[in-house]
Structure 1
Amino acid sequence: MIMRKFTLLLLFLISSNSLTAQFFIAGGHLNGGLPVSNLKQEVDKTFFPTLSGILLYEFYNKPIQVGLEVSYGIYGTKMEVRNDLYPGYTDEFRIRRNNNYTSGMAVFRYLPSMSSKLTPFVEIQAGANYLYSRFKIRPSIFEDVVEAGKDMQDWAFAYKVGGGIQFPLPGIDGGKLELRINYQDGGTMRFLTKGDTNYLPDNGNGEFEYNPRQSPLQLITASVGIVVYDAFW
């Protein structure tokens, strides 16, 4: 709901300006998040890497940018080879489990200096995080999947505060290298990490045991990326 309202507001603000005032920035980032606070107590050494794409609109002759950023990453993966997954069969199967992290955030940026070569900015984001764990079972990496599904999923409101700086990139018209750091917090989520799922072959016909974590997704995230000004001219 928050993302929808922000998107509608963004479209209204863009359409209310003349075409000559439209100014878009697009880019992508490599991000790495380290747990802090309550999350650090739950998953001290878990690293949260993501790839993200960002689209921003800069108001004409104003130090303000607004837009959207969407991220995806895998913060843990585990592969087992077992011969006890299916009762009555001793064939070996590979079970691969990925813990996935996705987010969609509305972005607001303020640029204190727009005329210098180095462009600093302050950033606030708000939106939602979605964590889910998926598994796939197959005889080998080259064969079709026998079974697939989700073990656990949850989502929560989230926000980020931080800032960064942009450097001109020679050879790319309007291109800039962007370094950024932010702090993320939000609502409490239930999620799995790499060692939180066990298979119990002697329970019934075999079943998975889950030991989920519960915490806000509190991260300090560093990013490096490339953004291009006037991306759609």
Structure 2
Amino acid sequence: MKKTISYLLIFVLFSFSVQAQEKMAGLRFNAGLPIAEFRSEVGSQWFPSLNLGFLHQLSNTPIYLGGEFGYMLYGTAMHRSTDVINGTDQRFRIRRNNNAIHFAGVIRLMPDLGVGIRPFIEGQLGAIHTYTRSKVRENRLAEPMAAGTEVYDWSHLYQLGGGLMIPLEKGGDTFLELRVNYMQTGTMDFLTSQDASYDNQGAVTLNTRNAAFQLLSPSLAVKFRF
């Protein structure tokens, strides 16, 4: 039910964007820092991500609607094993990456105060997909002999935050954007880079975690107005 409501709200947000006036798009780098109960689950590990985002202004208002799509890599680990193929002592590389993709509708309040710098507050509502992929290779440059997804899950997410848009030139259309957001998801199954262990025969054990992501995400973006 929560997911259905989330998707419905996102659809409503995007349906209003056809009335837009000013448009902006850009690339963002986020440094996700675990906080609260999530920090006790994963420790000081951080969750970096890259986001693509766009915003449309509702005509003659300080309200902007849009969306963000992001990719997050929250840990990678490599293990060497001679037990991949029976009857051979060749060592193989097993690389395991922990990933997430997330997308959300955005509503932002950003008045133009006529001083160049533009403060804003915003909220986001969307979904996140976590997944761990493993690949087996003979060496770093070889094509994968085997690959697969081991642990995956979906959940809703919301974000609240604010920041500043700073013009990089007077009267220009390029901005540096500083933002801090708080992210909260529902509980999900996921792995970190410490959650795969191997026995003497090379068999892997995955210690799957189940928790909600709680991240404080300072970020830096370059935005273009068009």
Q: Which residue of 2 aligns with 1:228?
A: 224
Read off the aligned partner of 1:148 and give its amino acid letter: A
Please say if residues 17 and 65 of structure 2, whose CA atoms lie closer than 8 Å, have aligned partners that are also in contact.
no
Q: Which residue of 2 aligns with 1:9?
A: 12
Distance in 2, matches of 1:178 and 1:223, equals 8
Alignment of 1:1-233 (within 5 A): 1=4, 4-6=7-9, 8-15=11-18, 17=19, 22-170=21-169, 173-202=172-201, 207-230=203-226
Closer, same or farther in 2 for the Cα pair 1:171/1:96, shift >3 Å?
A: farther
CA apart distance, 1:156: 0.8
Aligned CA-pair RMSD: 1.9
Closer, same or farther in 2 for the Cα pair 1:112/1:198, shift >3 Å?
A: same
CA apart distance, 1:143: 1.6
CA apart distance, 1:225: 0.6
CA apart distance, 1:14: 3.8
1:87-141 alpha-carbon deviations (Å, 9 max, x no partner): 2221111111101121101101011444221100001011111111100001012
Distance in 1, matches of 2:215 and 2:10, equals 25
Q: Unmatched 5+ residue regions in structure 1?
A: none
Higher share in strand: 2
TM-score by length of 2: 0.91
CA apart distance, 1:86: 2.5
More displaced 10-residue stretch of structure 1: 119-128 or 208-217: 208-217
Report % sequence identity.
35
Distance in 1, matches of 2:71 and 2:171, equals 26
Please say if residues 161 and 181 of structure 2, whose CA atoms lie closer than 8 Å, have aligned partners that are also in contact.
yes
Q: How many residues align?
A: 223
Residue aligned with 1:39, SS? helix
Distance in 2, matches of 1:158 and 1:4, equals 11
Residue aligned with 1:41, SS? helix
1:13-64 alpha-carbon deviations (Å, 9 max, x no partner): 244x4xxx63211011010011011110101111100000001111121000
Distance in 1, matches of 2:220 and 2:70, equals 14
Distance in 2, matches of 1:2 and 1:172, equals 41
Read off the aligned partner of 1:52 and give its amino acid letter: N
Distance in 1, matches of 2:178 and 2:65, equals 18
TM-score by length of 1: 0.89
Q: Unmatched 5+ residue regions in structure 2?
A: none
